[in-house]
A and B are shown apart, each in its own frame.
Chain A
Amino acid sequence: MRLRDLYRTEIYDERRETALSPMLLLCLTSAYIITVVSFDRYQTLRIIPLAAYPIFVGLFSGVSGRDLFRKMTAVMPFVILIGIWNPFFDRIGTEHLGIIISRGWISFFSLMIKFLMITASTLIMVSAAGFDGLCRCAAAAGLPEVLATQLFLLNRYIRLIVEEAHNTLRARVFRGGKITLSNAGNVCGPLLMRSVSRSEKIHNALLCRGFDGALWRGKRDMNRLSRQDIIFGIFWTAYFLVVRFFDISRAIGDLTVRCVI
């Protein structure tokens, strides 16, 4: 993944016209993540029905699957690096569908599935609700407003530093320059100075328009849930509870076997 793709792909770039409230998405995604991680590391098959949530919300919000996949592949190697040790340390065999497989591999696949589900749901939430929407909800939910504002501005300034890094690298490469370990300091120093200079300008621009530390003044009522939000929330909460406390995968499997036989 190229540096500029971090901010160019659609995932974080703009809020989509979702009918769902950011507050609802924040609550549901939190509940979803708690549900996913609450499963035992060997309960791989029981987690699968939970994939319905990111798929449904992703389609509903119009998030591009391709961009989602690109973002996830960027962090996938780290998860593989962590999980790949499981098969070496956990070698106890267990039988699944007549095949003997080590529990290490099962926990490895479980980790991968959990990672995919959590990352996808989080990215979809950020994309559908917009980062400012999430920060606003976090502030409404009790996070100190100063902290929520800092979080939002941090996101803005990360984008800024990525833009500056992209411009600096491009300017060097176009003039035949290469970035090596020995000249990395010459790149990083000006990059930081440029970023500081631009962030000062942005801060001044905020001050000039009356900014006094509160970003979401007068927008509290936007966190109210509509009837559609409430129905959506109740449906998915019920679904998470059902998946958590009943083995839906087994039930579907048994039903399929009965139908076939």
Chain B
Amino acid sequence: MKVFEIEKICYSYPDGTKALDELSFSVSEGDVLGIAGANGSGKSTLLMLMMGCLTPLKGRIAYLGKSFDRDTVRSMRKETGLLFQDPDDQLFLPTVWEDVAFGPRNLGLSEKEVASRVEGALHDTGIEELSKKAPWKLSGGEKTLAALAGLFAMKPKTLLLDEPTSGLDPRSRCRLISIIGKTEMTAVIATHDLDMVLDVCKRVIIMKNGKIESDGEVPGVLSDREYMRSCGLELPLSFAGRSS
């Protein structure tokens, strides 16, 4: 079943910068899709469009077969979680616990169910000890995990992750990869971290200047050094190590 269908979408920012140009692909249930590309290739814009935060100038986005309209976007947001590139944009309530509870409360759950979901999400992300802390007092990695807990607490069917490992120390990065690897959700991960793509994704899309350069199985796409360089990327470290 297709979770997201994206057909020939175009998007330009108000200053005229073209971010996406005739982009088409689909995400099926259970897919763990990596989206890689150099800076400014349009990865974050794509996720914002998929979440309904931006509207494409041309083309169509559909969720579970229904084209985006107000109601579809609302129901899609109940089942889809977006992890923002900068977790500071996502965390805004006075404590981590309150922030993680924000989504479940908006789903209209009882306080008992909210508490159970928050405890579960904090446990899954391993940040129970941070629950009473103010989000703006956390380190970068802790903020990312707190933001991720906020998504997990909503029990989404699909995760959209924008640069989830940026700014994380190696241990936090491994932890995050292991958390994402364990989830059985459909996931779309926009990242520069190609080793992460190699670890958790089955399929990868390479973007360049707002267009899809390639879409295929992870090892096949990521192992071509010259091709990766032409897209402004490098081989994943594990491949680079093998080839040298």
Instruction: Mark A residues whose CB is within 8 Å of B.
Output: 13-15, 17, 130-132, 156, 159, 198, 201-202, 204-212, 217-219, 221
Shortest Cβ distance from B92 into chain A, in angstroms?
Answer: 5
Q: Are A201 and B86 in contact (CB under 8 A)?
A: yes
A131 to B94: give the CA distance in the assembly, Å.
Answer: 8
Q: Which residues of A contact B98 (CB under 8 A)?
A: 132
A209 to B104: give the CA distance in the assembly, Å.
Answer: 8
Q: Are A210 and B92 in contact (CB under 8 A)?
A: no
In the complex, whether B4 has a CB less than 8 A from a CB of chain A is no
Q: Are A210 and B137 in contact (CB under 8 A)?
A: no
The one of A202, A205, A218 in contact with B111, judged by C-beta atoms closer than 8 angstroms, is: A218
A56 to B150: give the CA distance in the assembly, Å.
Answer: 37
A210 to B111: give the CA distance in the assembly, Å.
Answer: 16
B78-113: which have CB < 8 Å to A?
78, 81-82, 84, 86, 89-90, 92-95, 98, 102-103, 105-111
Q: Are B106 and A14 in contact (CB under 8 A)?
A: no
Shortest Cβ distance from B25 into chain A, in angstroms?
Answer: 21
Given that A156-B92, A207-B77 are known contacts, is A201 also in contact with B106, CB under 8 Å in the complex? no
In the complex, the number of residue pairs spanning A and B with C-beta atoms less than 8 Å apart equals 70
In the complex, whether B154 has a CB less than 8 A from a CB of chain A is yes
Q: Which residues of A contact B105 (CB under 8 A)?
A: 217-219
Instruction: Give 28 A-B contacts (CB < 8 Å), ordered by A residue.
Output: A13-B134, A13-B137, A14-B137, A15-B95, A132-B93, A132-B94, A132-B98, A156-B92, A198-B89, A201-B84, A201-B89, A202-B92, A205-B82, A205-B89, A205-B90, A206-B92, A208-B77, A209-B77, A209-B81, A209-B150, A210-B77, A210-B78, A212-B106, A218-B105, A218-B114, A219-B105, A219-B111, A221-B111
Instruction: Tell me the dominant secondary structure on chain A's binding face.
Output: helix
A220 to B47: give the CA distance in the assembly, Å.
Answer: 35
Instruction: Mark B residues whose CB is within 8 Å of A.
Output: 48, 51, 53, 77-78, 81-82, 84, 86, 89-90, 92-95, 98, 102-103, 105-111, 114, 132-134, 136-137, 150, 154
Q: Are B108 and A130 in contact (CB under 8 A)?
A: no
Chain A residue, CB-CB nearest to B102: A209
Q: Which residues of A contact B84 (CB under 8 A)?
A: 201, 205
Chain A residue, CB-CB nearest to B135: A14
A201 to B85: give the CA distance in the assembly, Å.
Answer: 10
Q: Which residues of A contact B48 (CB under 8 A)?
A: 204
Q: Which residues of B contact A132 (CB under 8 A)?
A: 93-94, 98
Q: Which residues of B contact A206 (CB under 8 A)?
A: 92
Shortest Cβ distance from A12 into chain B, in angstroms?
Answer: 10
The one of B53, B111, B150, B154 in contact with A207, judged by C-beta atoms closer than 8 angstroms, is: B53
A208 to B78: give the CA distance in the assembly, Å.
Answer: 8
Shortest Cβ distance from B121 into chain A, in angstroms?
Answer: 12
Shortest Cβ distance from B101 into chain A, in angstroms?
Answer: 9
Most A CB atoms within 10 A — which of B77, B82, B86, B105? Answer: B105
A217 to B114: give the CA distance in the assembly, Å.
Answer: 11
Q: Which residues of A contact B110 (CB under 8 A)?
A: 218
**Apart from the given pairs A201-B84, A218-B105, 18 other A-B contacts in the complex at a CB distance below 8 Å:** A13-B134, A13-B137, A14-B133, A15-B94, A17-B132, A131-B94, A201-B86, A204-B89, A205-B92, A206-B92, A207-B53, A209-B81, A209-B106, A209-B150, A217-B108, A218-B111, A218-B114, A219-B111
A13 to B48: give the CA distance in the assembly, Å.
Answer: 30
Q: Are A204 and B53 in contact (CB under 8 A)?
A: yes
A17 to B97: give the CA distance in the assembly, Å.
Answer: 13
A132 to B102: give the CA distance in the assembly, Å.
Answer: 13
Q: Which residues of A contact B81 (CB under 8 A)?
A: 208-209
